[in-house]
Structure 1
């Protein structure tokens, strides 16, 4: 892995998650992309460069399951290593949007409050 600079908080956990992921984003399509060209897994590596918009990729440790990506930050921060995955920001953000949309689409419709 190149450019392996840990975050200010939770460095040990972050390093353990990145080591388990071999420094590569662990998205396997939760972002909406098939990643078919890369064997079904995102090819972005920590410290590498993004293809389209340039810049360095900084992987994050976040909940592995798309539904748990919607946990409040204090709950996500308390998850054990086995429930975390390495995500590139693009896949993480897209997977969160997909999870929000799925939650919104499955939420029961609420009746409007009566005026009187």
Structure 2
């Protein structure tokens, strides 16, 4: 997947539409925990660029961080307007932050004794 070659599952062009709307750049505005202030408040990572881990491939995922925890089948059904382009670093950090917030709001209960 070099340049703007879509992933194999992008049969309807949704990934390409999300990437085009994002101008090929990660749309994170700090939900990952980084201010991105050097780059005008938006992540500077571009699709096809390079990071210390190799080439960067942006992902189309829910724009609302709370929706990042949706089951895959529900996230895949979101319309284009509710998706954003995410670089792997911002997507992972934002998902971790949302999980941490959700866990703090709803701590797991102790299981009842089995015996």
Give the TM-score of the pair, scaled to structure 1: 0.89
Distance 1:110 1:6, change over 3 A: same
Q: 1:1-116 residue pairs with structure 2 within 5 A?
A: 3-11=3-11, 12-50=13-51, 53-108=52-107, 110=109, 112-113=111-112
SS for the counterpart of 1:61 is strand
- Shift, 1:49, TM fit: 1.1
Q: CA deviation at 1:55?
A: 1.0
Q: For the structure 1 residues 115 and 9, does the alpha-carbon distance in structure 2 shift closer, same or farther, using more than 3 Å as the test?
A: closer
Equivalent-residue separation in structure 2 for 1:72 and 1:62 (angstroms): 12
Equivalent residue pairs, number: 113
Distance 1:90 1:108 in 2: 26
Q: CA deviation at 1:58?
A: 0.3
Unaligned runs of 5+ in 1: none
Question: CA RMSD of the aligned region, Å?
Answer: 1.7
Dislocated runs of 4+, deviation >2 Å: 108-116
Aligned-partner SS, 2:74: helix
Residue 5 of structure 1 deviates from its aligned partner by 1.3
- Alignment partner of 2:50: what SS? coil
TM-score by structure 2 length?
Answer: 0.90
